[in-house]
Amino acid sequence: MQPRPRDTIRINDLLLIVPLLTGSVWPKPPGQAVLQPVLISLSIPHNISSTATTDDLSHTINYSFLCSLLRDSLNEKIPPLGTLENLSTRIFDLLLSRSSSDAPSLTEARLRVVQPRAPLNCKAIGVESRATTSSGSRWSTGYVKHFCEDLECSTIIGVNACEREERQIVRVNISIERWDSGLQRESWVDFRFMTRELHAKIQKTSYQTLEALTSYIAETALRHLSTDRTEQIQSPPLVTVRAAKPSAIVFASSSEIEICRTYSDYPESFIQGMEPGQNPTSDMATHTVALALGSNLGDRFYNIELALRLLETPEAFLGTKDATIAVVDTSFMYESAPMYVTDQPSFINCACMIETNLPPVALLKVLKLVETTVGRVPSIRNGPRAVDLDIILYDDAVIDTRGNPRKELDDLDGELVIPHPRLIEREFVLRPLNDMVPDFMHPLLHQSVSTLLAVLDIPADTTPMHKVIPFPQRPLPTDYTFPHSVAVVPPTLTHWTFPSSPRPTQKIAGPRTSKTRVMATLNATPDSFSDGATHNTLPTALEYAQNAVVAGASILDVGGYSTRPGAVFVSTQEEISRVGPCIAAIRTANAQLPISIDTFRPEVARAAILAGANCINDVYSFTGQESYPFPRTGSAAGGCMSDMKSIALEFAVPVILMHSRGDAGTNKDYEMYRYAGAGQEVLEGVRIELGAKVDFIVKGRGGVRRWFVIVDPGVGFSKTLEGNLEVLRDASAITADCHVGSGRDRCRNALAGYPQLIGASRKSFLGVILEQGGGRKTEPQERGWATAAAVACAVQQGAAVVRVHDTREMVDVVQVASALWERDVTDAT
Ligand SMILES: *[C@@H]1O[C@H](CO)[C@@H](O)[C@H](O)[C@H]1NC(C)=O
Ligand SMILES: *[C@@H]1O[C@H](CO)[C@@H](O)[C@H](O)[C@H]1NC(C)=O
Ligand SMILES: *[C@@H]1O[C@H](CO)[C@@H](O)[C@H](O)[C@H]1NC(C)=O
Ligand SMILES: *[C@@H]1O[C@H](CO)[C@@H](O)[C@H](O)[C@H]1NC(C)=O
């Protein structure tokens, strides 16, 4: 075989007018051809060496001859051609067929056929192909590329709010390349249809990034190309999308993205996807819906918990087994003064995400029935109510059932307007929504929830919204009746209030400030390093608890199994027998005091709650001792996790989730987070590792309500001295609304906005500091003053709770530190 010539002879953009059946700007009835201009470019590999040396034209390909061959054979008088593909076939026949006597003897040709301004909305479409022939056989194509240039669309695109206010032009080039199916019928591309569809679809999008838009265009084009599963697997076309946003950058003519995609890049949509032709949104599909919940009558926390539990049993209301509703995420809980009517009790507001197969109107019916069951008293509009449920978002649907003339927004009785029309003016709806889906785009305003919240105009005289954590009453009163078929909802004992975090985009000077509460620690462990086991008898325990309350502690933490490195193993039974009687005795003496059980064992947590505890404090965040590194996916997180989760959910108790890496003394290397910057890697490690666990506990079916979660960075656990100081010094960064991770894993801080507990009391790293530089060795009990310094720092960092041993002294420290640093967030600007 001859080597392939390195030289090429070209004819560029030969203009011909040919009768074509398709592609005209104004379509004709089928079968009627229209004369249309096409530009033909040829490129032919040919060794010009002999012509070059002899300077004799007879040795080369006479391009003047080629042009007249094409012009004579393809003109107005030829029978109409179906498509550009038919035209390409005809040209290859002319050039490469041996049968025709006047054909030049070529073995290879590349051809580009362009039809300018063919479909509306784009500059040109065309087909590029390469055909070869070997002696005796008919020519065949080895490569075909269909393309369309400068499809012009206007759409909402951009990250900045100002960019999203109006549409801007996006220009798109699309090409579709195939290697072995040639110019056959199956691989034709109907650009008129495809560009029309793409144009309409792109207009409706509202992506933030060109990246997302190009990916969407590539997927839509692939979807358009084939419904044939064998083709998807055997000879998939490659789609290249190049999109430019000419108005993006003031000093450059445009910004552009180019991507190449094929079916396997969209595994969800193709290959393993639906059978061709099947409607992907059949009636039983799952929808994601955001609901707002509010209550301002009676036991408001009880009402909301009951509403959520009833909501998950829609079959009880609809009489059908097919209806499903699952709560998959919750917001923080907020207390706020009512917005429109001011002389009534303050509102509790929160929001949740549910997954349901119910259509909007059926869902609305369930919500109304839940409201009635919980005991909504229909009274003055916006007046007191036991519970109020509203559909805020339903997928990204836009729904208005009001018909014409439209009902007033204030009197929607039975009608649905989605997204909720008052969403953008109500902080008590936007803020909880922002806790769960800050990046969700409002389908009509094309702005994200976090942007809408940031630009919300909150009048200066509005009562600020506070975050609240409710504590249930435990044990249940003996005469307690609960007339519903769902798991018993406990009445509320008390609730804690914290300032709500500042607006997401608002930067305030210094750390967030809040009223810090004191957690007194009671070790029911004979080997406890912290108090020398002096409380291991009921009378001393009772006395300790009483003193702590008098001193000003807000909660008592009872533990029966030390987590200190090298602590003696304690069996579950032993742990229960240490904490159970102790908690029961303290509960009997003090009905009002929140008591947390410090354990990582589900059995112990359950027994302690039944004995009277109403909070779980778990140093392993429900993943058990052996859980480092935490598996992000799958059931590998173990039974411990799901048991603790269901106990927390069932008993509706707050949970304190701590960062640790298994054994307290080990796993101190945070090198992998070095990218976060020097002095930030431990902080970053805590945010990412604890964030993954908290997400696992809060999100998805059977998740713990977000408003019950307090996070603890785990000072003194799996961290070096420097690491402990780093976390303590900058603790407010643990729960900041910032981004974490790097590269593809970069995402919002999962711990953003959670109240934080800091427990540095008597820890050994304080002892190490005291000992450094020739200082003295200290026993834990001797580290009170050292603890005071750490507690002052925790208050300055805005900790919601500090866990201490020397309650009376530390209450004093907290009071003075609070006076020093506690400012209202609004004063800090
Ligand atoms: C081109 O032709 C010349 C002379 O006929 C020959 O020497 C040379 O090898 C050819 N080159 C290729 C790449 O075929
Ligand atoms: C090239 O083709 C043109 C048009 O067919 C013809 O007039 C001319 O004589 C040809 N030249 C040579 C050298 O073959
Ligand atoms: C176009 O090509 C197809 C497939 O190669 C063929 O079946 C059809 O008859 C052609 N139509 C015209 C008008 O040339
Ligand atoms: C599309 O292709 C045309 C012609 O090649 C080119 O001028 C234009 O810049 C391309 N547009 C984009 C967005 O790549």
Please write the tens of the pLDDT for every residue from 557-615: 999 988 777 778 899 999 999 999 999 999 999 999 999 999 999 999 999 999 999 99
**What pLDDT score was predicted for residue 406?**
64
pLDDT average, residue stretch 280-296: 78
Which residue from 706, 653, 656, 715 is spatially nearest to 683, judged by alpha carbons?
Answer: 715
Residue 65 Cβ inside 6 Å of ligand 2? The answer reads yes
Q: Which segment of 106-120, 304-318, 703-717 scores lowest on mean pLDDT?
A: 106-120
The more confident residue out of 774 and 480 is 480
**What pLDDT score was predicted for residue 185?**
76
Q: Is the pLDDT of residue 514 over 70?
A: no
Read off the pLDDT band of 280 (50, 70, 90).
very low
Residue 86 Cβ inside 6 Å of ligand 3? The answer reads yes
Catalytic member of 515, 803, 808, 823:
803
**What pLDDT score was predicted for residue 299?**
92
The more confident residue out of 223 and 349 is 349
Q: Is the pLDDT of residue 479 over 80?
A: yes
Closest ligand to the CA of 188 = 3
Read off the pLDDT band of 325 (50, 70, 90).
very high
Catalytic member of 309, 763, 777, 783:
763
Q: Is the pLDDT of residue 648 over 90?
A: yes
**What pLDDT score was predicted for residue 550?**
95
Q: Is the pLDDT of residue 1 over 80?
A: no
Q: Whose CA is nearest to atom 8 of ligand 1?
A: 49
- Ranked by mean pLDDT, which of 162-176, 262-276, 715-729, 808-822 comes out on top? 715-729
Residue 56 Cβ inside 6 Å of ligand 2? The answer reads no
How many Å lie between the centroid of ligand 4 and the Cα of residue 183?
24
Q: DSSP letters along 424-487, please?
A: GG-HHHHHHHHHH-TTPBPTTT--BHHHHHHH----TTSPPPEEEEEEE-SSPPTT----SSSS
What are the tens digits of pLDDT across the range 745-786?
899 999 999 999 999 999 999 999 999 977 899 999 999 999
Q: Is the pLDDT of residue 73 over 90?
A: no
pLDDT average, residue stretch 316-325: 81
Residue 5 Cβ inside 6 Å of ligand 3? The answer reads no
Closest ligand to the CA of 59 = 2
Task: Assess contact for 217 and 204: CB atoms under 8 A.
Answer: no
**What pLDDT score was predicted for residue 810?**
97
User: Is residue 524 classed as helix, strand or coil in its secondary structure?
Assistant: coil
The ligand 1 atom nearest the CA atom of 53: 4
**What pLDDT score was predicted for residue 436?**
96
pLDDT average, residue stretch 128-157: 86
Q: Which segment of 135-149, 165-179, 181-195, 196-210 scores lowest on mean pLDDT?
A: 181-195
What are the tens digits of pLDDT across the range 786-795?
999 999 999 9
Q: Which segment of 384-388, 533-537, 655-659 scores lowest on mean pLDDT?
A: 533-537
Task: Tell which one of 54, 60, 62, 66 to mutate to probe ligand 2, the residue whose CB is within 8 A of the most ligand atoms.
Answer: 62
Q: Which segment of 374-378, 426-430, 434-438, 677-681 scores lowest on mean pLDDT?
A: 374-378
**What pLDDT score was predicted for residue 512?**
43
Q: What angle do CA 342, 348, 350 make, to 5 degrees?
A: 130
pLDDT average, residue stretch 346-363: 92
**What pLDDT score was predicted for residue 538?**
86
The more confident residue out of 214 and 381 is 214
How many Å lie between the centroid of ligand 3 and the Cα of residue 227?
22
CA count, 13 A, side-chain hemisphere, 397: 18
Q: What angle do CA 364, 366, 369 make, to 5 degrees?
A: 110
Characterize the bridge pairing of strands 108-116 and 124-132: antiparallel
pLDDT average, residue stretch 340-355: 83
Q: Is the pLDDT of residue 337 over 80?
A: no
Read off the pLDDT band of 231 (50, 70, 90).
low
Read off the pLDDT band of 828 (50, 70, 90).
very low
**What pLDDT score was predicted for residue 506?**
37
B/e letters for 143-171, b = 16+ CB within 10 Å, e = fewer, are: ebbbbbbebebebbbbeeeebbeeebebb
Q: Is the pLDDT of residue 827 over 50?
A: no
How many Å lie between the centroid of ligand 3 and the Cα of residue 20?
12
**What pLDDT score was predicted for residue 438?**
94
**What pLDDT score was predicted for residue 233?**
55
Chain mean position to CA 246: 30
Q: Greatest CA span in the chain, whole angstroms?
A: 117
**What pLDDT score was predicted for residue 385?**
74
- For the question of residue 385 being annotated catalytic, the response is no
CATH annotation of 287-401+412-472: 3.30.70.560
User: How far is it, in rounded angstroms, from Cα 538 to Cα 578?
Assistant: 10
What are the tens digits of pLDDT across the range 15-54?
998 888 776 556 566 667 788 889 999 998 888 888 888 8
**What pLDDT score was predicted for residue 783?**
95
Q: Is the pLDDT of residue 711 over 90?
A: yes
Q: Is the pLDDT of residue 366 over 50?
A: yes
**What pLDDT score was predicted for residue 66?**
85
Percent of the chain with pLDDT strictly greater than 70? 83
How many Å lie between the centroid of ligand 3 and the Cα of residue 86?
6
**Domain range annotation of the chain:** 8-265, 287-401+412-472, 760-829
What are the tens digits of pLDDT across the range 391-417?
999 998 888 877 655 666 666 667 788
What are the tens digits of pLDDT across the range 490-506?
999 999 988 775 433 33
User: How far is it, in rounded angstroms, from Cα 741 to Cα 672?
Assistant: 11
The ligand 2 atom nearest the CA atom of 62: 1
- For the question of residue 763 being annotated catalytic, the response is yes
User: Is residue 268 classed as helix, strand or coil in its secondary structure?
Assistant: coil
Please tell me the total number of residues recorded for the chain in this structure: 829
How many Å lie between the centroid of ligand 4 and the Cα of residue 401?
44
Q: Which CATH class is domain 8-265?
A: alpha beta
Q: Is the pLDDT of residue 198 over 50?
A: yes
Which residue from 47, 50, 46, 17 is spatially nearest to 34, judged by alpha carbons?
Answer: 17
User: How far is it, in rounded angstroms, from Cα 434 to Cα 452?
Assistant: 9
pLDDT average, residue stretch 653-675: 88
pTM (predicted TM-score): 0.68
Read off the pLDDT band of 338 (50, 70, 90).
low
The whole-chain average pLDDT of the chain stands at: 84
**What pLDDT score was predicted for residue 501?**
59
How many Å lie between the centroid of ligand 2 and the Cα of residue 62?
6
Closest ligand to the CA of 102 = 2
